[in-house]
Each structure stands twice: as C-alpha cells, then as structure tokens.
C-alpha cells in the first residue's frame, strides 16, 4: 500500500526553458526541457508508466518509437506508446503527427538522409487543454512554446530522424523499420464519464483521465494498481500532502483521499489498463 509525493527530476535540454513557473520551482543553471516524476524512494521498483512535463523553447527532434514486438526483437523490454495533454500553448505553437501523404520506406529513408523530412510531416496548431495520442510507430515532433504533460510506457526506445542540426545521432535503420508511412489521425476524442471524470485516452497500454473536483469537495480515489496523479490546475490535499499546480502523487494498492482547495482542482490521472476503472473515484 503506497501513497507518496512523487520526486521531480529536472533534466536540462538544449530546447528547454529557464522559467518553469507555475509548473515547478526547480532551480538549475541551464534550460530545463523535461521533468520526470519518479518514486520518492530511489530504491523502489520502477513503475511501468513514466509521467513527465515537457517545456519547449525550440522544436524537438522528429522521432518515432517502436511497438513492444520490435522493441523485444532488439533486446528492449517494451516499446513506447505515449499521450500528451497540452498545459500551455503559446500563439502559433504546433506539433507534427505523421506524414502528409503516403510514402514508401525508401522515400522516408531518403528524406531522413537529405534532411527534408520536416516538409513531409503533417504539422498542425495545438491549444491549451488539447489531448494527443501518440501510438508506437507514429512519426512525431513537438514544436516550440509548449508545456506538455506526457504519460508513456517506461522505455528509452526513441529513434531520432531529424534534429535541426544539433549534431546528435540519427537512427535511420530502426526508424524506417518501425515508422508508419501513411497519414494518421491521432487527435484524441475525450469521453465524459461523470461530472468529475473525463477519459482522455483509453488503452491499450494505459488510461489517461482528467478529473475536475469542485471547490472544497472531498473524494476518494481508488488506486488499485499503480496510479499517477498530476495537478494541472488548482490546489488540493491528497492524503497528507498539500499539492498545487505541477505536483504529482504516486499511489498503488491504496485509496487516496482528495480534498479540493477553495478554487477547485484539475488532476490528470494515469494508470496501466485497457479501459477506465469504473469505481476509480468515489
């Protein structure tokens, strides 16, 4: 039985930002691009899901992740499917998801080698509050001016395809082997379950929800399996922890009493399952 405040680990990235407010008070000497939320006990077993915050001042690389089968074939424990929730979007912010039109594997390989891949991508604007599903195999990129909450299968399996001249390694063979080369629509279709619960993404590797609690209301979240909670807006008390925007809680095999603050609270919740847990919130 576990309910604990997650440990926030800030990672510097060339495309990151210096000011993380209001999402984090972490202080570093450089630009932070990612905050990983980990178990409070460093010796605790890794969770199957990884919760992150992403901060972008420049475009990220164009990349793709493998599915479980391909990851296993190259000695990795699992692939990586992920989902994004846009916490903040500057005017003109955009993401790339898949190619604009169907191409062959050879055309993809040639575009990577020549550095022309950005022009083949399907770029589109994004707005605060939008959810995007990124299944394994989807070629994707995140543009500048965004703060994103990301939930993913825990995996380091990233195959870089274009990197804006940052001189990092490209992974052409693996990328071509796993990438979908037809247009895809990964815009999530949120589904309202109750007045409080909205399912953002459901299955096959995790369920991602947004929970909105009225001011000063009291609820119990049933974390029968590993469950990540991130405050997107507002304040609350989760168990014995006072939490505010950007804070995260990890729970497993336990119940979590949540007392919403005076202005209410929005909490993003993720857990490994193929469908929403019916009695998650009581």
Domains of the chain: 2-178 (2.60.120.10), 191-271 (2.60.120.10)
- Tokens matching residue 68: 């479980």
Residue 160 is a catalytic residue? yes
- Tell me the pTM: 0.96
Of the residues 160, 166, 192, 237, only one is catalytic, namely 160
**Cα 39 to Cα 61: distance, rounded to the nearest angstrom:** 28
CA atoms of 168 and 23, how far apart (whole Å): 29
Longest C-alpha distance within the chain, in Å? 58
Tell me what the mean pLDDT of segment 150-164 comes to. 96
- What per-residue confidence (pLDDT) applies to 42? 87
Banded model confidence at residue 80, pLDDT cuts 50, 70, 90: very high
CB 4 within 8 A of CB 40: yes
Which alpha helices (DSSP H) does the chain contain, by range?
A: 68-73, 105-114, 172-178
Instruction: State residue 68 phi and psi, 5-degree precision.
Output: -60, -40
Percent of the chain with pLDDT over 70: 100
């Amino acid at each position: 039985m576990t309910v604990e405040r997650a440990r926030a680990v800030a990672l510097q990235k060339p495309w990151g930002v210096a000011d993380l407010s209001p999402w984090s008070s972490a202080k570093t000497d450089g630009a932070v691009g990612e905050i990983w939320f980990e178990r409070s006990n460093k010796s605790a077993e890794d969770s199957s899901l990884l919760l992150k915050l992403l901060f972008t001042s420049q475009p990220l690389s164009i990349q793709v992740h493998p599915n479980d089968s391909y990851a296993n074939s190259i000695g990795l424990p699992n692939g990586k499917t992920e989902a994004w929730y846009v916490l903040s979007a500057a005017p003109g912010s955009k993401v790339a998801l898949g190619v604009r039109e169907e191409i062959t594997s050879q055309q993809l390989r040639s575009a990577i080698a020549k550095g022309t891949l950005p022009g083949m991508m399907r770029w589109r604007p994004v707005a605060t509050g939008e959810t995007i599903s990124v299944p394994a195999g989807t070629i994707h990129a995140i543009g500048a001016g965004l703060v994103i909450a990301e939930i993913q299968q825990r995996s380091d399996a990233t195959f870089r395809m274009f990197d804006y001249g940052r001189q990092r390694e490209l992974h052409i063979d693996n990328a071509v082997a796993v990438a979908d080369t037809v247009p895809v629509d990964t815009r999530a279709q949120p589904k309202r379950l109750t007045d409080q619960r909205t399912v953002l993404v459901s299955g096959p590797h995790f369920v991602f929800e947004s929970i909105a609690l009225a001011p000063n209301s009291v609820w119990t979240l049933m974390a029968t399996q590993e469950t990540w909670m991130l405050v997107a807006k507002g304040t609350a008390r989760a168990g014995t922890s006072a939490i505010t925007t950007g804070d995260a809680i990890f729970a497993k095999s336990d119940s979590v009493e949540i007392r919403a603050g005076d202005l209410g609270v929005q909490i993003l919740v993720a857990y490994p399952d193929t469908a929403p847990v019916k009695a998650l919130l009581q």
